[in-house]
Each structure stands twice: as structure tokens, then as C-alpha cells.
Amino acid sequence: MGIFNYDSGIMRALNKFTDCMLLSVLFLVSCIPVFTIGTAATALYYTVYKVLRKDRGYIFRDYLASFRDNFKQTVPIWLLVLLNGMVLGADWNIMRQYTKDETIMSILTVVFFVGMTVLLAWSSYLFPYMARFENTRKQSMKNAILLVVAHLPMTVLLLALILIAVFLFYMAPLLIVFLPAVHALTASFILERIFRKYMTEEERTREEELDRV
């Protein structure tokens, strides 16, 4: 009967597995309008950290609360990210159609991929940062790009995690019902080490007190 005890390792693993599935589905559903993807990413990270990492709160309640609280703050920023991605993609596609010189095309391709990589790296910090810190939109965007540069090795690792998630989805599309939460959970172990360096002493103390509860 021990293995079926709520506090047993197997039961905790099963609970985490179920939570990842529920949270991933909730994230995917809230991404459907497209303009809410940034808000959904913020709520996903917030819930992953608070519920899956710290065992505080509840999946649905905390996800929906974060989604509601961050909606106005994150939608304009996500639309800016989306617009930049679309402009990069459109420019590259136009140049690919009208540029015949292979050397120029190679250079333009490199520029496109560098631009998309920077945008992806920035987004990897931006929405988790907004989930964990209260700040203005402008300051949040500025701080996120500074984190990309200041923690470049960790940035590369975060990008590698994204590539792994994309590869796993490509190999087994059904994993989509787990991947968002699993990816956010994995990334949180990198991001929280970084974020902690920029917390005030009061914020660190509060985190430690909550962990002891």
C-alpha cells in the first residue's frame, strides 16, 4: 500500500505528470486567439514556478489569475514580438524570390536566422521575467534583452531547450499535450538561478519564507 500513499515517490510523479498535461492543455487552449500567446506564456511560467516547482496553489486558479492580471501588460508586447517575426519572415521570403545572386542570398539567410534567434532568445527571458517581476513594459523589454547578453551561455542553453522541444514535437506530435509545461519547468531551473541575482533582499527573504511554509 505504501506506493499508493499520496506522499510516495510514484504518486508524486503521477501528480506532476497529470499537472503537466493539464497545464499544457490549458496553455494551448488560451493560445488559440493568437494575440493572447504572450499572456499564456507568462501565465504558464508563473504557474509552473508556483505550483509545479514550489507546490503552492492550484493549476487552474493560479493560471487563470496570472492570465487575467497580466493580460493588458503582455498583449501589446507579444504583438510587437509577433510583428517583428512577421517582418523578418516577409523580408526574407521577398528577398529569396527576387534575389538571384547566391552569395547575397546566403548573407540574407544568415541575417534572417540571426534576427530570429535574437527575437527567440529575447522572448525566452521576456515573458518569464514578466511572470516573476512587476515592472513597466518598457523596462521589462529592456531588462530581458540585457539578460540575453549578460547571461549568454545560459541563453544558448535556453535556445537548445527550445530546439529539443521542437524536435520532440516533430518526432511525436502527441507530445504537444505535455511539452509546453515540461519545457517551461525545465527552463525554470535555468531562469530562476538568473532571476534570483536580480531580486532585492526583501524579495529573496519572502521567497525563503514561502518555501518554509
Q: Any idea which residue has 493560471 for its cell? A: 63
Following DSSP, what letter does each residue of 80-128 receive, concatenated? HHHHHHHHHHHHHHHHHHH---HHHHHHHHHHHHHHHHHHHHHHHHHHH
**Is 171 buried (19+), middle (13-18) or exposed (0-12) by CB count in 10 A?**
exposed
Instruction: Tell me the pTM.
Output: 0.89
Q: If you average pLDDT over residues 124-136, what whole number do you get?
A: 95
Cα 155 from Cα 146, distance rounded (Å): 11
Domain ranges of the chain: 2-212
pLDDT of residue 63: 96
Helix 37-47 to helix 102-132 angle (10° resolution) is: 50
Residue 101's SS3 state is coil
Q: If you average pLDDT over residues 5-25, what whole number do you get?
A: 77
